[in-house]
Structure 1
Amino acid sequence: MAQHPVLIRTAWRGRPLLLHGKRFATSQASASASTESTSSQSLQNHPADWEDHTPALENFSQLPYKDFGKNQLLQTNEDFKRSLRGILREFPALSYAFAYGSGVFPQSDATASRITKSPHSNPPEAILKWQKGGGKMIDFILATKFSQHFHSLNLRAHKDHYSFLGSLGSGVVSHVQDAYGAGAYFNPYVNVNGTLIKYAVVNLPTLQSDLLNWDTLYLAGRLQKPVKILFEDPNIRVANQRNLLSAVRCSLLLLPPTFTEKELYSTITGLSYRGDPRMDYGSENPKKIENIVNHQIRNFRLLYHDLINSLPNLTYSDAKAVSKPGWEDDTELDLRLEQDMDPERRGNMVRRLPKSFREKLYFQYQRKFAIPGREFQEMLEATRDDDPAGGVKKQIGGPFDRRIAAEKDLPEMVNKTVLQTVKWPSTVQSVKSFFTAGPSRGFRYLREKREKAKEA
């Protein structure tokens, strides 16, 4: 059946918009490989409801509009990117992949100076140069459409990557991956191409669902921070753009009427860490969020600035500052922003929160307002995202959303909902890692994390 371009509109209201990337690519390889440059363009001709349409896409030419989601393609140098892709070529059947963490984007000026010995055995020169000595294990998320098939092939090629679970076969490995925690299977302290890496395998539908619905915020939270995307899928690009917008909206519900850039980006960064047992039990640097934002402020701007401009209830206090060429490179800036606290606008934000997350928030207020069960179920049915006639309903806040938005305890309730979303999957995932990594590598990882936390 012939595929027709999908007409989906943007939410940018015709403002001048910074877009990252050159001519839009129609293949996975060229889409990811395009240069992450910056240009300016008016989007007056693009309608404003792309979020309300979520068709399955077969290729990048069907994305909502030219350059859609190029804000996600953050820049590293080409040699480093090629080295990372060279590592991924050692793995079978990848549909989407990204590298993340301090081994890719530094979180401290002192990182390189503290390293006395590189953990890599014989890494490419580009990795040594990018890491200023090659002192960090590199973390990857690898998404595949068929995880059991992936593990079957990967066990043949790299059985030493697996703990004792690998000897039980790909069926057991994929079951452990999908059935417990957040749907990720980690293999840490693995040497590939002379480079020490840690990688997690996830199902592509699991990744897409977490980006769209915030089932666990485990995978969505990683993509809310600067990452280096290496292999792409058009449906994940759309899902992640919705994830990034959701992160801004959720953070606005937690923030006061005025705040700074760093306060916004710290709130976004902290979403997936709330309830994470590593933060609660001293296995993470207590200044981790602050370090990420302070040292990656430019990348946060490239990732979120266009989305900030897309929201009608959020503005920069000094609009002239963001119109100056090269402002995003000024790491000394910490611009102020203002949000409209009108309950109708905030009700629309509540309505546009990811489905699983929004329903948890609704349950919080069902208890508070003592809404009878049948009445509440009817209300949930009325707020379903999908239209029985086909397609997706336009997400406009209703009376219940506006009532929630007017409550003074909304930030507290949103925070409780984040904790409820993150805590259990993250805890189970942490316990699971001792089985997937094996006891020795699991304890090594925990020990090194605690040592880094003590150094903070």
Structure 2
Amino acid sequence: MACHRPLLRIAQLRQPFLYGRRFNSSQSQTSASSESTQNLQSLPTDWEDNLPSLSDFTELPYKDFGKNQLLETNEEFKRSLRGILRQFPPISYAFAYGSGVFPQSDATASRITHSPHPNPPEAILKWQKGGGKMIDFVFATKFTQHFHSLNLRTHRDHYSILGSLGSGLVSHVQDAYGAGAYFNPYITVNGTMIKYAVVNFDTLHRDLSNWDTLYLAGRLQKPVKILYEEPNIRVANQRNLLSAVRCSLLLLPPSFTEKQLYSTIAGLSYTGDPRMEYGSEHPKKIENIVTHQIRNFRLLYHDLIMSLPNMSYADQHAISKSDWIDDTQLNVRLNQDMDPERRGNIVRRLPKSFREKLYFLYQRKFAIPGREFKEMLEASKDEDAKGGLKKQMGTAFDRRIAGEDDLPDMVAKAVNQTVKWPSTVQSIKGIFTAGPARSWKYLQEKRGKGKLN
């Protein structure tokens, strides 16, 4: 597959690489050497304001940009996952996610009575400690109908009755309804039970950049195993991760713990999701994800936390230890600056579609006339006159919003508005794309998890 680029392996984060922010000796939060400091100072701090379309990884803002996204599994497991992907038509970007990749409970293996995998590779059995979890994938393709046309020829049995109506209808159902994903669950490939979603490359890119639905962006805000990469998605996902931190800051008090931060981030895409509201997910799902993946959350977000000028770790001594990343019992406290000007900048840098929802909520609260509000939205566009991004500094309206006591409630409401309808439609769409039998089986399994205490 010519479009697949080999992953660069991320080194274990013992002394995290920092970027995007200068620190003097009193501000330093690690024992970085003077050479590291010099490298830090030479890195661009305005990468968010200059994001052209990229044709190659060499055009990234700097050499190690986005390496935090490349979380490690062992080599044999990764090879097995890629072997599964090779059974499909060309894919531009792909990742595996969920409890089949990164465990969400210490007791997972002990509860397994029957593995869903008929004949999996040994590496999957070892990684899953018994092989008891279906593995979830997302495949992004630049040509949706072409992908389904090729996939239907090879894997007609993956599709419901919709597949018999042709790739045109399948791609229309995928792109036109819900969050733009087409799921095929309970599929056996290379002896392994998987569920895979096909999404259009542009749909994924928009959701990461703008938070149109948070359906795909939300999955990438939690630890996932990226298998095939693409430079524009890496940049868009870095913005997505940074946006998740910023949005969470608006929901959190002046002082909070790591687990509170990561639980807030992990919970964004579940806010308003009907699976959570109607008991189709484990009631402690978010807590389990964070508790059992705290190290991966640190690998994913620590550098981004360090890059933001309005938040910092309260316990400098704890994070100065070389092995603190691996200490799963540690729960470091963080502080944020509640100054309205700084928080106004956070509001201004929220993803475009999401930010506009928040603006509309405050338009109603402040009773701003429609014409005045439209002019304000026009003035706050991300793009400059030439079509590029302009520096996103908070406006007077952003600062006014930032000073409101109900800001956390309004942000939560905007998250709910973003997630609820696409997730609901996507769930309904699943009945048709997976077929009644597979959909019922999937629902029963989810409801079974939801009843667990």
**TM-score > 0.5, shorter chain as reference:** yes
Query: Match for residue 12 of structure 2?
Result: 37
- Structure 2 matches for 1:386-425, cutoff 5 A? 386-425=383-422
Query: Match for residue 129 of structure 2?
Result: 132
Contact 1:28/1:60 (<8 A) preserved: no
Q: Which amino acid aligns with 2:300?
A: L
Whether 1:159 and 2:156 are equivalent positions in the alignment is yes
Query: Match for residue 85 of structure 1?
Result: 82
Whether 1:322 and 2:298 are equivalent positions in the alignment is no
Contact 1:314/1:339 (<8 A) preserved: yes
Q: Deviations over 1:68-89 (max 9, x none)?
A: 0000000100000000000000
- Structure 2 matches for 1:145-294, cutoff 5 A? 145-294=142-291
Contact 2:10/2:71 (<8 A) preserved: no
Q: Deviations over 1:250-294 (max 9, x none)?
A: 000000000000000000000000000000001000100000000
| Residue 370 of structure 1: how far off its partner (Å) | 0.4
Q: CA RMSD in A?
A: 1.0
For 1:341 and 1:454, how far apart are their aligned partners in 2?
A: 39
Contact 2:4/2:92 (<8 A) preserved: no
Q: Deviations over 1:280-325 (max 9, x none)?
A: 0010001000000000000000000000000000000012211210
Contact 1:343/1:405 (<8 A) preserved: yes
Query: Match for residue 373 of structure 2?
Result: 376
Whether 1:361 and 2:337 are equivalent positions in the alignment is no
Contact 2:70/2:225 (<8 A) preserved: yes
Whether 1:308 and 2:305 are equivalent positions in the alignment is yes
| Residue 340 of structure 1: how far off its partner (Å) | 0.1
Q: How many residues align?
A: 429
Contact 1:80/1:126 (<8 A) preserved: yes
SS of 2:117's equivalent in the other structure is coil
Whether 1:56 and 2:53 are equivalent positions in the alignment is yes
Q: Which amino acid aligns with 1:94?
A: I
For 1:240 and 1:452, how far apart are their aligned partners in 2?
A: 29
For 1:245 and 1:151, how far apart are their aligned partners in 2?
A: 33
For 1:386 and 1:451, how far apart are their aligned partners in 2?
A: 47
- Structure 2 matches for 1:65-76, cutoff 5 A? 65-76=62-73
For 1:390 and 1:138, how far apart are their aligned partners in 2?
A: 40
Contact 1:207/1:220 (<8 A) preserved: yes
For 1:441 and 1:253, how far apart are their aligned partners in 2?
A: 40
For 1:33 and 1:400, how far apart are their aligned partners in 2?
A: 42
Query: Match for residue 432 of structure 1?
Result: 429
Gaps of 5+ in 1: 1-26
Contact 2:115/2:133 (<8 A) preserved: yes
Contact 1:36/1:74 (<8 A) preserved: no
SS of 1:455's equivalent in the other structure is coil
Contact 2:352/2:382 (<8 A) preserved: yes
Q: Percent identity?
A: 77
| Residue 388 of structure 1: how far off its partner (Å) | 1.2
- Structure 2 matches for 1:324-339, cutoff 5 A? 324-339=321-336
| Residue 46 of structure 1: how far off its partner (Å) | 1.4
Compare relative contact order (CA 8 Å, sep 6+) and give the higher one, 1 or 2.
Answer: 2
| Residue 326 of structure 1: how far off its partner (Å) | 1.1
Q: Which amino acid aligns with 1:29?
A: R
Q: Determine which of 443, 449, 452 is the counterpart of 1:452.
A: 449
For 2:394 and 2:267, how far apart are their aligned partners in 1?
A: 26
Contact 1:36/1:73 (<8 A) preserved: no
| Residue 35 of structure 1: how far off its partner (Å) | 4.4
Q: Which amino acid aligns with 1:312?
A: P
Query: Match for residue 104 of structure 1?
Result: 101
Q: Deviations over 1:378-434 (max 9, x none)?
A: 000000000013421100001000000000000000000000000000000000001
Q: Deviations over 1:154-185 (max 9, x none)?
A: 00000000000000000000000000000000
Query: Match for residue 32 of structure 2?
Result: none
For 1:37 and 1:450, how far apart are their aligned partners in 2?
A: 37
| Residue 33 of structure 1: how far off its partner (Å) | 4.3
SS of 2:198's equivalent in the other structure is strand
For 1:106 and 1:196, how far apart are their aligned partners in 2?
A: 16
Contact 2:44/2:61 (<8 A) preserved: no
Contact 1:123/1:194 (<8 A) preserved: yes
Contact 2:207/2:213 (<8 A) preserved: yes
Q: Which amino acid aligns with 2:209?
A: L
Q: Normalised by the size of structure 1, how large is the TM-score?
A: 0.93
Q: Deviations over 1:96-148 (max 9, x none)?
A: 00000000000001111000111101000000000000000000000000010
For 1:35 and 1:222, how far apart are their aligned partners in 2?
A: 20
For 2:5 and 2:255, how far apart are their aligned partners in 1?
A: 41
SS of 1:397's equivalent in the other structure is coil
Q: Determine which of 89, 94, 105 is the counterpart of 2:91.
A: 94
Q: Which amino acid aligns with 1:226?
A: P
Q: Determine which of 347, 352, 355 is the counterpart of 1:350.
A: 347
For 2:90 and 2:187, how far apart are their aligned partners in 1?
A: 19
